[in-house]
Structure 1
Amino acid sequence: MSAVKIPILGVGPDGLAGVTARSREWLVNAELLFGSEAALRLLPELKAERVTIGTDLPTVVERLKAAVGKQKIAIVSVGDPLFYGTARYLCDKVGPDLFEVVPHISSMQLAFARVKETWEDAYLTDLSAKSLDDVLDKIRGAETVGLFTSDVYPPGRIARELLARGIDYFRATVCENLGGRDERVTQGELTDIQGMTFDPLNILILKRKPNRPDVPRAVSTLARFGNPDDVFAQSRPKSGLITQAEVRSLALAQLDLHPGDVAWDVGAGSGSVGIEIANLVAPGVVFAIEQDAADFHLISANLETFGVKNVKPIFGTAPAIFSGLPAPDAIFIGGNGGEIARLLEAAFAVLRSGGRLVVNVGTLEMLSATYAAMKRLATAVDVQLVSIARGVEQMESLRFEAVNPTFLLRVRKG
């Protein structure tokens, strides 16, 4: 009996009636049935002994191993067992050769179909395995969110906790019992959802309202430099364009900053680089130059968050705005705009002797244009390709999410 594969079967809201004939045979003949509470509730007619898969997964694994070869086993999961289900964990801990996985349509997939939204770029997670605090920063910066809710985090509580943190810029859709006779789809504001109750089998979809800025993550301690991207208020849809924390740290090193220096942050965006420069040059001054009105207002908001007093926001277009500003010891340019050659020439011209000019670009086209322009300014151009991957814990595994590669270029005057 031990050579027989153990089935891990996806089921939908219609339970036994919605599975294939082969899956039905497995389930009816099972003597021991593993599954989450939600999955087991969908199969009330089965007579097998039941083992609930909860948060204590190691105990479940031991119970499963003890039964292999002694009982006919089946494992059930709502929707696709490999999509935020237990199949991956069991395959990792027990061995993939022991199992056969038969997926059902995922309830998340069905929920997005109901609201007619693509889910390819959405942030998706399961709140039965994580706390809301663990995923709050991902939700805060997302355009679209899909959540498997839980008994601990039903839609109403999620809505209340988001509103309590000032995250009020999502419209919510709750999809209950998808595919079942009592299916219901409820849409509304978070303020509407917070007081409502829903069937435990539901998906919550959050869709950001147009042109709403992110609410930055609150942290108890702010670093002098290298702060996480999401502690800075950023405008949408540009939040992914902030100079990433790791790149920011490398850029600050290349700027070779000293207390008392005067520095310019050109194309400052929400001010992340300028604020961290300010921490290193105090009592020197940073001039944060930005031509986008929405981003310019965010600089002031971030200055208040960080309590930085030595940054002076300047609203205007570079290089025309350079006239009248104190000569800098260091200039940082977020170089993704047009006319880069003219901008670099003007910036290099105003640098003090020994001054450093550092440029961050994100595309090969901008790298080529920027490198050529900087070679005309100085003999030596330092170029770095920065490729970062950040560790992310999922279940009991560690994986890495890549940050878009970017380039840093530096020249020194004289």
Structure 2
Amino acid sequence: MADRVTVIGWDGSPLTAAARSALSAATLVAGAAHHLALPEVPERAERIRLGSVDLAARRIAGHRGTAVVLADGDPGFFGVVRTLRDPRHGLEVEVVPAVSSVAAAFARAGMPWDDARVVVAHTRTLRRAVNVCRAHPKVAVLTSPGAGPAELALMLDGVHRTFVICEALGTEREQVTVLTSDKAADLTWRDPNVVIAIGGSAPAPAGGGWLLGPDPGPVRGWGLTPDAYEDEPAPRNAPPGTGDSPAPGSPPPGSGESPVLRAAQLARLGPRVGDLVWDIGTGSGAFAAEAARFGAAVIAVDADPAACARAEAAARRFGAQLQAVPGRAPYVLERLPEPDVVRVGGGGADVVTACADRRPERIVTHAGTRDEAEAVGAALAAGGYTVECALLQSVDLDPAAWSERDRSVAFLITGRRSAP
């Protein structure tokens, strides 16, 4: 086993005295080609070209001597330190950090980054990284071959962002390019790089911020009453959000706006960072705004353009953002990107079937009668989903007289399938 493993971060600047001392004593050095070409690497040391960090860790664990691993930026920030410290390898690790590529990228852009999301994009995680860029106004993306600026831009189709693309940071080939996301797909970029995606707006943190990443905001709780999301509260019997007369099998007018039902739907779907949520028949936009507050990317769909505008305004009011798409389901769904979870607020079994064809992990909807619930349940089962149904009843009381103010009854239908 290696006597000692020192991980040295390199940001293009001269190595520190501690880094040079560790390298001079090394009998094994692992790193990328440009690291192994550094003049400080001893000629007598065994050299390992760093590809799989896990394989390199096994080689190091079996080495008798002193090992050094060279990595770009801060190796403890989405870097090699996590793998090297895996208990399976039994390595004692000392770290000599450098400026991380994310910190360097924001420095080149002249922007603060304590309020940014940071994601890693590989071919297997690209879609989730894109969803984070959809949902948040400031995101740093650590790219990789096949998951770079061009791929990000193509998958953000329809969502405008400004890209700050930082290539070869800290080297003689360093280049920083600022352009709109729609133009990034037409150019060739060096891998890997850092992309800062900027778009939308978020309230500035009070007092300079206190938390790394987006501020959670002042609002506490979920399943809020509709007037919390609207400048002017919607009438109690407003339509559920399709923008049309209810189709056969769709919920009765107003039933989709119950805060208790909305909270139950959110609980069934569990929207999270990296997800894409479809809200079909968004109505007041309250469900879409609450899903966006969880950090998920949200596409709110409604045949009524005014409902789409309400959804966007509801999200902005609480420092979130979403994409609103006017159009009639199920036809409008064909051009939307693949969802992770779906809430169907109107349209009945036909819309549920169209959503099931896209294979999201979960679908939730509601019905006003048992016959409607059975039709939706049958559509979900035919699509390969495990179906759950609950009858929800909530009664809004006036605490002054403890008298009934409003009553809501709905069948809550959920379809679940195993994640791929």
Asked whether the 8 Å contact 2:164–2:195 carries over to 1, the reply is yes
Q: How far is 1:131 from its partner? A: 3.6
More helix by share: 1
2:347 corresponds to 1:309 = yes
Between the aligned partners of 2:30 and 2:83, the Cα distance in structure 1 is: 14
Question: SS of the counterpart of 1:93?
Answer: coil
Residue in 2 that maps onto 1:9: 8
One of 199, 214, 218 as aligned partner of 1:208: 199
Q: How far is 1:103 from its partner? A: 0.8
Between the aligned partners of 1:110 and 1:38, the Cα distance in structure 2 is: 19
Q: How far is 1:46 from its partner? A: 5.0
Residue in 2 that maps onto 1:149: 143
Residue in 2 that maps onto 1:32: 28
What is the correspondence of 1:19-98 to structure 2 with a 5 Å cutoff? 19-36=15-32, 39-40=35-36, 47=43, 48-54=45-51, 56-67=52-63, 70-94=64-88, 98=92
* Residue 52 to residue 127, structure 1, CA distance change in 2 (3 Å): farther
Over the aligned positions, Cα root-mean-square deviation in angstroms equals: 4.6
* Residue 206 to residue 288, structure 1, CA distance change in 2 (3 Å): closer
* Residue 299 to residue 196, structure 1, CA distance change in 2 (3 Å): closer
Residue in 2 that maps onto 1:345: none
Any idea what the Cα deviations from partners look like across 1:31-56, whole Å, max 9, x if unmatched?
A: 211234565466686533322333x4
Between the aligned partners of 1:378 and 1:41, the Cα distance in structure 2 is: 78
Q: How far is 1:210 from its partner? A: 5.4
Q: How far is 1:101 from its partner? A: 1.1
What is the correspondence of 1:2-401 to structure 2 with a 5 Å cutoff? 4-14=3-13, 18-36=14-32, 39-40=35-36, 47=43, 48-54=45-51, 56-67=52-63, 70-94=64-88, 98-128=92-122, 130-159=124-153, 161-163=154-156, 166-200=157-191, 202-209=193-200, 262=252, 263-266=254-257, 288=283, 294-295=309-310, 298=324, 301=327, 304=330, 305=333, 306=344, 308-309=346-347, 356-357=394-395, 373=399, 376-377=402-403
Between the aligned partners of 1:96 and 1:372, the Cα distance in structure 2 is: 64
Asked whether the 8 Å contact 1:108–1:203 carries over to 2, the reply is yes
Asked whether the 8 Å contact 2:282–2:308 carries over to 1, the reply is no
Any idea what the Cα deviations from partners look like across 1:330-388, whole Å, max 9, x if unmatched?
A: xxxxxxxxxxxxxxxxxxxxxxxx96247xxxxxxxxxxxx984884469xxxxxxxxx
* Residue 207 to residue 11, structure 1, CA distance change in 2 (3 Å): same
TM-score by length of 1: 0.52
Any idea what the Cα deviations from partners look like across 1:167-224, whole Å, max 9, x if unmatched?
A: 431111111233334432110012332232334353111111459xxxxxxxxxxxxx
Between the aligned partners of 1:107 and 1:287, the Cα distance in structure 2 is: 40
Q: How far is 1:287 from its partner? A: 11
* Residue 167 to residue 189, structure 1, CA distance change in 2 (3 Å): same
User: Greater CA radius of gyration, 1 or 2?
Assistant: 1
Between the aligned partners of 1:293 and 1:201, the Cα distance in structure 2 is: 38
Percent of aligned positions that are identical: 22
Q: How far is 1:144 from its partner? A: 1.4
Question: SS of the counterpart of 1:83?
Answer: coil
Between the aligned partners of 1:374 and 1:53, the Cα distance in structure 2 is: 70
For residue 309 of structure 1, what is the amino acid of its counterpart? G
Asked whether the 8 Å contact 1:274–1:288 carries over to 2, the reply is no
Between the aligned partners of 1:167 and 1:39, the Cα distance in structure 2 is: 40
Asked whether the 8 Å contact 1:150–1:200 carries over to 2, the reply is yes
Q: How far is 1:151 from its partner? A: 2.8
Between the aligned partners of 1:310 and 1:60, the Cα distance in structure 2 is: 55
Unpaired stretches in structure 2, ≥5 consecutive residues? 203-216, 225-248, 267-280, 286-305, 313-323, 334-343, 350-367, 370-391, 406-420
Between the aligned partners of 1:99 and 1:172, the Cα distance in structure 2 is: 36
Question: SS of the counterpart of 2:68?
Answer: strand
* Residue 94 to residue 77, structure 1, CA distance change in 2 (3 Å): farther
Question: SS of the counterpart of 1:33?
Answer: strand
For residue 81 of structure 2, what is the amino acid of its counterpart? A
Question: SS of the counterpart of 1:265?
Answer: helix
Asked whether the 8 Å contact 1:173–1:187 carries over to 2, the reply is yes
Question: SS of the counterpart of 1:92?
Answer: coil
Asked whether the 8 Å contact 2:282–2:307 carries over to 1, the reply is no
Between the aligned partners of 1:116 and 1:201, the Cα distance in structure 2 is: 21
* Residue 38 to residue 118, structure 1, CA distance change in 2 (3 Å): farther
* Residue 119 to residue 377, structure 1, CA distance change in 2 (3 Å): farther
Between the aligned partners of 1:375 and 1:9, the Cα distance in structure 2 is: 70
For residue 15 of structure 2, what is the amino acid of its counterpart? V
For residue 153 of structure 1, what is the amino acid of its counterpart? A
Asked whether the 8 Å contact 1:10–1:103 carries over to 2, the reply is yes
* Residue 272 to residue 184, structure 1, CA distance change in 2 (3 Å): farther
For residue 356 of structure 1, what is the amino acid of its counterpart? S
Between the aligned partners of 2:128 and 2:27, the Cα distance in structure 1 is: 37
Residue in 2 that maps onto 1:281: none
For residue 106 of structure 2, what is the amino acid of its counterpart? F
Between the aligned partners of 1:372 and 1:9, the Cα distance in structure 2 is: 65
* Bigger RCO (CA 8 Å, 6+ sep): 2
TM-score by length of 2: 0.51
Equivalent residue pairs, number: 266
